[in-house]
Every structure is written in C-alpha cells, then in structure tokens.
Amino acid sequence: MILDMFSLKGKVAIVTGSNTGLGQGISKAFVEAGAKVLGVSRSPSDDTLKMLGEENFSYITADLSSLDPIDTIINTAVEKYGRLDILVNNAGIIKREDSIDFSVENWDVVMNTNCRTLFFLSQAAAKQFMKQKSGGKIIAIASMLSYQGGIRVPSYTASKSAVKGITMTMANEWAKYGINVNAIAPGYMATNNTQALRSDADRSAAILERIPAGRWGTPDDLMGAAVFLASSASDYVNGFTLAVDGGWLAR
Ligand code: NAP
C-alpha cells in the first residue's frame, strides 16, 4: 500500500540540531513515522526527549563546528539501536554582518558547521550504510540562499549554496550503493534562526509580503518532506533540493 512506503518503522535516524526548531520538528516526524532517533545537539535536547519519550528518542551533545564528534555520533547510534538508516544534517548557524566588514571568524564558523561537518558526517554515515549493505538516506537542510544571494550573510549563502552542490555530488557517487542524498530548502520559517529578521519590522513586512502563502513557515511544515525523503517513497529521488517555502522561489 502506498502509505506503507512512507513508514519508517524499524529505521534508525540521526538528526543534528535536535533541541529546537526544524530539527525538533523532523525528530518528531520521524518518531511519528515509526523510527528511533538519536538527536545531536549543542544544547541538551531535553525538551525533545520529553516530547518524544525515551523509548523513541535519545541524544548526545556535540559541537558540530569541529569534525571531532563524528565517530562518536555514528558509533552511538549503532551501539544504541544496532544500525543506521537515515542521517539529517540540520544543525546550522547564520552570522549577519555587512559583507564589507565580514570577519574571518564569522566566515569560518559558519562554513565549518554548515558545510565542512555536514560533508564529513555524511561521508561517515555513507560508510556505515555501505558496511551494512543496506542503503540509506541522507538529507541536508539547505536554504533559499542555496538559490539566492541574501543580504549581510555571505558565509551563510556560501555554505548553503555549497550544500546544494555537494548534495548532488554525493548523490551521484553513492546512488549505486542504494544511498539517496537529497536536501530540503526551507523558506522563511519561524525559528531562532530568523528571530532577528522577525524582530525587524521593515524586513519582516517585506519578507511576508513576498511569500505567496502569506505566512512564515513552521517546523511542522517540514515534516512531510522530511519523511518522504527518509522513506522508501523517495527511492528514485537522487541529488534534488526540494523547496518547502510557501512559494517564495516561485515568485
Ligand atoms: P535554530 O532554531 O537556530 O536551530 C539551529 C540548530 O543547529 C540548533 O539545534 C543549534 O543548537 C544547532 N547548532 C548550531 N550550531 C551548532 C554546533 N556548532 N554544534 C551543534 N549544533 C549546532 O534554527 P532552525 O531554523 O531550526 O535551523 C535549522 C536548519 O535550518 C539550519 O541549518 C538553518 O540554516 C536551516 N534553515 C532555517 C531556515 C529558517 O527560516 N528558520 C531557513 C532555511 C534554512 P543550539 O540551539 O544549541 O545552538
């Protein structure tokens, strides 16, 4: 039956940035679809744990601006749940500063977190999928700034444009192992990431006016796309970045 293709029953997922926002919503979606989820967060994911229950969700804390935690993350999922089927690279940061003054520090921390760790964590997950001979699903969280330039966020735009590109590279190389690599490009979502924009009355009004759906997105809006790309319903979808944006890019 078609809805069975969307089931994640028996699947094990890693979701980074699971303590809040979109990562919390994706963790909830996966548990509702039947998966066990290991969250990875810088701040403890206690709210998510409370929401989803310890039989379905556990977490470790890690700083993903460095590559150091990668082996621990993969090993913890495999030791705790016996296997790995899905990785969602959701953790990400944004630094806002005029390009003319943009600091090396704000460049490096964003590129390292949003792009460098995302690639090497994906590589480690793919090695685990290959060892299991099971195939697997890797989902990156991209952005509207995978397509557009943005304002005052050069390292974020660089990182998210790179995410869209390397999603295709990884998909091309690993499809033959049954590994699907895709991305979701959220539009403007009401989370901590956009707090500064939403607090700026002029920017907020300009953004809202441009969204055909007429509202900011929410973590719940991403749940369907995340489950689709994590499930066998997307087995022939490779290297695509799916916008969930209330029509922003269509405008
Ligand atoms: P958020 O509420 O700020 O969440 C960001 C998540 O990333 C948090 O869990 C955060 O942990 C984690 N994180 C950041 N740096 C980390 C690090 N060094 N190590 C470990 N975890 C780290 O924003 P969000 O909107 O849910 O963002 C999730 C993803 O969606 C990001 O990749 C973001 O770029 C992307 N995105 C968001 C929007 C939007 O409109 N909100 C649009 C497009 C794309 P802490 O809370 O502990 O910092």
Residue nearest to atom 7 of ligand 1 (CA): 91
25 lines ligand 1 (CB under 6 A): no
Could you give all domains of the chain from N- to C-terminal order, each with its CATH number? 2-188+218-244 (3.40.50.720)
Alpha carbon nearest to ligand 1 atom 42, residue: 186
Within 8 A by CB and 6+ apart from 5, the residues are 231, 232, 233
Q: Distance (Å, rounded) from C-alpha 150 to C-alpha 189?
A: 15
CA distance 179 to 129: 8
Evaluate: CB of 91 within 6 angstroms of ligand 1.
yes
- Identify the pLDDT of residue 244: 98
The span from the CA of 130 to the CA of 120, in Å, is 15
Which amino acid does the sequence have at 152? R
- Do residues 212 and 240 make contact, with C-beta atoms less than 8 angstroms apart? no
Q: How far does residue 117's CA lie from ligand 1's centre (Å)?
A: 14
Contact 149, 157 (CB under 8 A): yes
Total length of the chain: 251
Contact 231, 7 (CB under 8 A): yes
What DSSP string runs through 54-95?
TTTEEEEE--TTSSTTHHHHHHHHHHHHS---EEEE------
Query: Of these residues, 156, 177, 188, 236, which one is catalytic?
Result: 156
CA distances from 217 to 75, 139, 214 (A): 34, 19, 9
- For ligand 1, pick from 90, 110, 218, 244 the residue to mutate: most ligand atoms within 8 Å of CB: 90
Q: Is 146 in the pocket of ligand 1 (CB under 6 A)?
A: no
Name the closest-CA residue to atom 39, ligand 1. Answer: 189
Rounded to a whole number of angstroms, the distance between the first and last alpha carbons of the chain is: 36
**Bridge partners, 89 (sequence order):** 140
Instruction: Render each residue's pLDDT in the chain as its tens digit; 251 residues.
Output: 999 999 999 999 999 999 999 999 999 999 999 999 999 999 999 999 999 999 999 999 999 999 999 999 999 999 999 999 999 999 999 999 999 999 999 999 999 999 999 999 999 999 999 999 999 999 999 999 999 999 999 999 999 999 999 999 999 999 999 999 999 999 999 999 899 889 999 989 999 999 999 999 999 999 999 999 999 999 999 999 999 999 999 99
Ligand 1 center–CA 90 separation, angstroms: 7
pLDDT on residue 197: 87
Q: Is 188 a catalytic residue?
A: no
Q: Are 205 and 195 in contact (CB under 8 A)?
A: no
pLDDT at 193: 87
- Which atom of ligand 1 has the smallest separation from the CA of 64? 19
Residue 129 CB–ligand 1 contact under 6 Å: no
Which residues sit opposite 125 in a β-bridge?
none
Which residues fall within 8 angstroms of residue 160, CB to CB, at 6 or more apart? Answer: 114, 142, 143, 145, 146
Residue with tokens 């300009």: 206
- Which pTM does this prediction carry? 0.98
Cα–Cα distance for residue pair 88/35, rounded to 1 Å: 13
